[in-house]
A and B are shown apart, each in its own frame.
Chain A
């Protein structure tokens, strides 16, 4: 069985982001394998072990440094990797087209795992666009996955407290969520082994993907300001209520 897993190189959520200019940020901070994608890699490797005679290929669209994230995926058990190298900030449309082209070149897989979103852009779209482009079934927000011959049974988180169960045929695209599994941290021998695994680098331009009719451009980055302070309202109960209404109306602007 051929299993692809799409991974993204994203800024560490614990890192301090410093905005540079209008729409750039200091990229010397620590970058990590997108946390949702870790569940995707873990599941891909688990399925490989279950099925036997399978191959897991990690694929990423990103800058040269994204190779670190591919190495993480290799250390977690992927067999080889493909980096689609580009310096542009790819949105979900470009990313899914690039993935489709590179995966298509490599040979169509039986299952593609992705995270349900990347923690930097949170587009929540790549898996759907990729599935549509490759004409494969798709499910996202997946928290349980099982494979039986040619069919896949998944449980997806819908809205609060609602779960959907989907039975679908192979080939398919699966967007993994947090509850699916517990990603293991790579052992040192696995890290050393990953150093020797193949990472193929393809330039995005060389894939000659069709230019989308529309795309997303980030015009400006601003830090999210979280300012909370307490305020004490004093006086008789009636006065306090009046003050509260005024605050809610004029300051919080919620009434």
Chain B
């Protein structure tokens, strides 16, 4: 299917990933959920397979692949039924490291990107703060020039991989009075003096570590400024495009997995003398789920094609993210409903999926923010 976008190499990659997920991820998911993080070893394994540098440049160990390969990665890993695993991995590959790949200089890429791609070090991106989430321009963390370095002060909230990552890309104000034109991004190493991280407990995404970060006179060498000073806001907005497309693809795949599991359950569950799947109300519900997933998939593939053609797809990606994140929530709700009481029990994956998907309509640009953006772009 979709032979215009998935060619031989995508099919082989999908096959390879399918097995990797089946053999190296699925058997450990429950344990990782309990441990509240995925082991460093799995990053190394994924690095060896080339999964962590799909679109990154070949000279730093990446594969120089295309957006459709990234979709394959997102779709197949989402099949492990743990969005926490998914978040830890895609944060590293598609939300944090692209900042370095795009804006880093040679030395920075040599030093960090090569090791990010090989899985030797993990990374994350820290923008959100206790007092500023959707409103990125409102962040308060500051980076003051001090000789050959910057002094970082402030705190960050809800940072994925924030506790385990060896490096973080941190947004801070270099010109506080300049609003969104005063933000810069810094590469911060985990053991920098003055930096600390505290794990947060949450509703879902249990296999991903989420942390609150504190910076107290944290000295960042000048060479760790990413790109140009005061251009950080634009870098963040630019990468949101990619990030939201990947999130949307994850939502579609996660929804598909939930539906597949639910169909299998409904076929074997008997009520009133026949299998659940034979009741018309359930058949309708299944059809309604299937058509929502299909609509989401088409939006994702449409935006990805525009991406591949080099067209401006800002509006399409906002539409995608708004639709898919809400869609997966409705789908998870309906799938759990079809499971009945068993769906509420931990032994069924739908219980985890239902908790996991809630955050998609909040993180990476909340639905309301996406709608604001769509309205702006439609001039309404």
Contacts and interface: CB of A to CB of B under 8 A. Distances in A.
Interface of A: 28, 30, 32, 67-68, 71-72, 75, 185-192, 194-195
B50 A71 contact: no
Given A186-B16, A191-B9, A191-B13, 7 more contacts: A32-B15, A68-B8, A71-B12, A72-B12, A188-B51, A190-B50, A191-B50
Contacts of B63: 188-189, 192
A32 B15 CA distance: 8
A120 B231 CA distance: 58
A71 B19 contact: no
Contacts, number: 52
B287 interface: no
Contact of A71 (B1, B8, B48): B8
Contacts of B51: 188
A188 B20 contact: no
Interface SS of B by simple majority: helix
A194 B1 CA distance: 22
Nearest to A185: B16
B15 A185 contact: yes
A237 to B, nearest CB: 30
A147 B8 CA distance: 33
Contacts of A30: 11
A10 B200 CA distance: 48
Interface SS of A by simple majority: helix
26 contacts: A67-B8, A68-B8, A68-B11, A71-B12, A75-B12, A75-B16, A187-B50, A188-B13, A188-B16, A188-B49, A188-B51, A188-B54, A188-B63, A189-B50, A189-B63, A190-B50, A191-B9, A191-B12, A191-B13, A191-B50, A192-B9, A192-B64, A194-B9, A194-B12, A195-B8, A195-B9
Contacts of A187: 16, 48-50
A192 B49 contact: no
Given A195-B8, A195-B9, A188 B50 contact: yes
Contacts of B15: 32, 72, 185
Contacts of A191: 9, 12-13, 16, 50
Interface in B12-67: 12-13, 15-17, 19-20, 48-51, 53-54, 63-65
A187 B17 CA distance: 9
* Most chain A CB neighbours (cut-off 10 Å) among B8, B65, B69: B8
Contact of A185 (B8, B19, B65): B19
A-B pairs with the 5 shortest C-beta distances?
A188-B50, A185-B16, A71-B8, A187-B50, A188-B63
B16 A192 contact: no
B146 to A, nearest CB: 42
Contacts of B64: 192
A190 B50 CA distance: 9
Interface string B269-297: 00000000000000000000000000000
A192 B12 contact: no
